Copies of this chain bind each other. A is one copy, B any other.
């Protein structure tokens, strides 16, 4: 069994388990009580806060523990916005933020705020210049992840923080994906993290708010955690979270180098082993342990099931593997193919042999799905000027497969028009054109959600 989805949740680190165990005996009492069990709990909580703050790179009194990374994000965004209500109601986010950030922004919009989404390059990187330009006089908060959770691209947080400082806007950084690897550089104002991403237990998030940053916690008052995280403190979880963060940091440099070697191996060998595969995300500025690729003419669910049967646990940004039936907003914002998408994120200590076995297994799994779906071979030279394809009622990846088949029937410069009602086609047809060297001419909406996509065989005329 190879679990390659540490970006969703990491197995518990041995240090976390040990610390949790000890703190279940010593840290179950109410830390606000004066008796010895309470004082002991308070000491554990204080020590954990010191440890976590050191790893985050902030003061202990700037850091509180919340019940989850999501809670940290929701609290950070709501608290920062409320405190700067008089400055304005405008929020800047990148288009590839985690849904916790985007949902916070959407909630703000429902209550009368406005949101600017900064688009990304094809690598998933947020251009620092575009981020800076999105800041306005009435911007109350800007949000930028430290690294993307789906494709691993590291974002220019330091530059964004400088731009925000110059504009007098606080910067909130969702550091959930990168905190295991090191502190977030730069003059950020607020930061969120999530313990189960680094091998800590579920149920613990971090929220740092730098001194001097205006912050007004929302919701009913509660005296715990400086009024920023209501409810009885989960001290055993907190102790385990802090101890494991320190532990993973101790091995971070060595493991980062080793795992980067393994993801480089995947990056180099995948395109040779699997036809029509695209590795996505920035090849250099990226998280060391994470690699994402999309396989054309394959549906994500079949791919994941095939890999699961072969003993590999990975995740996917393809539409058919999510509960919403829409493709990942990250892949969509990047303009890359969402079908047959696979994210590999390696736990600490993953042996090279497991990655080698993955490379052995993957081509067969992809081939099997493609054979079943009737995926096209490389297109023949065709002779028609124009071909029309009806893909109504077909779902991802079938409309793209129909297009790929039809492209073999037209001459270079000829056009294919595909009519589809699967909304994923709007992402995948343009992206497919890009990867295959064809020209996407545009889409014309029709009745009942049907859209006609026009493609010219070959590059721009």
Residues of A within 8 A of B (CB): 1, 3, 5, 8-12, 17, 20, 24-25, 28-30, 32-38, 67-71, 74, 77-78, 99-100, 103-104, 106-107, 194, 196, 201-205, 219-223, 230-237, 301, 304-305, 307-308, 312-315, 321, 323
Contact = CB atoms under 8 A, between A and B. Distances in A.
A222 B315 contact: no
B202 A234 contact: yes
A266 B268 CA distance: 75
A74 B220 contact: yes
A38 B11 CA distance: 12
B24 A201 contact: yes
23 contacts: A1-B36, A5-B29, A5-B30, A9-B232, A12-B24, A28-B196, A28-B202, A29-B313, A32-B323, A34-B305, A35-B313, A36-B313, A38-B313, A67-B71, A69-B232, A70-B222, A104-B220, A107-B220, A107-B221, A201-B236, A202-B236, A203-B237, A205-B231
Contact of A223 (B223, B304, B323): B323
B100 A202 contact: no
B74 A230 contact: yes
Question: Which one of A9, A28, A36, A232 has the greatest number of beta carbons of chain B within 10 Å?
Answer: A232
A203 B234 contact: yes
Contacts of A35: 3, 5, 304, 307-308, 312-314
A141 to B, nearest CB: 14
Contacts of A321: 34
A34 B308 contact: yes
Number of copies: 2
A70 B231 contact: yes
Question: Which one of A103, A305, A323 has the greatest number of beta carbons of chain B within 10 Å?
Answer: A103
Contacts of A68: 67, 230-232, 234
Nearest to A24: B12
B237 A202 contact: yes
Nearest to A233: B202
A223 B326 CA distance: 14
A193 to B, nearest CB: 12
Contact of A33 (B8, B69, B236, B237): B8
The 5 closest A-B pairs by CB, nearest first: A68-B231, A67-B67, A203-B234, A35-B313, A70-B231
Nearest to A315: B33
A209 to B, nearest CB: 18
A16 to B, nearest CB: 9
A35 B6 CA distance: 13
Contact of A70 (B30, B70, B205, B232): B232
A312 B36 CA distance: 9
Contacts of A202: 28, 232-237
A77 B220 CA distance: 10
Nearest to A8: B30
Contacts of A304: 34-35
A282 B151 CA distance: 61
A106 B221 contact: yes
Given A230-B71, A231-B69, A9 B36 contact: no
Contact of A222 (B17, B78, B100, B205): B100
A33 B222 contact: no
B231 A67 contact: yes
Nearest to A77: B220
A304 B219 CA distance: 33
Contacts of A201: 24, 28, 234, 236-237
A295 to B, nearest CB: 17
Nearest to A17: B24
Nearest to A201: B236
Contacts of A314: 35
Nearest to A38: B313
A195 B237 CA distance: 14
A9 B34 contact: no
Given A220-B103, A230-B70, A29 B17 contact: no
A306 B69 CA distance: 41
A220 B70 CA distance: 10
Contacts of A234: 67-68, 201-203, 237
Given A34-B305, A67-B71, 4 more contacts: A8-B30, A9-B29, A37-B313, A74-B220
A9 B28 contact: yes
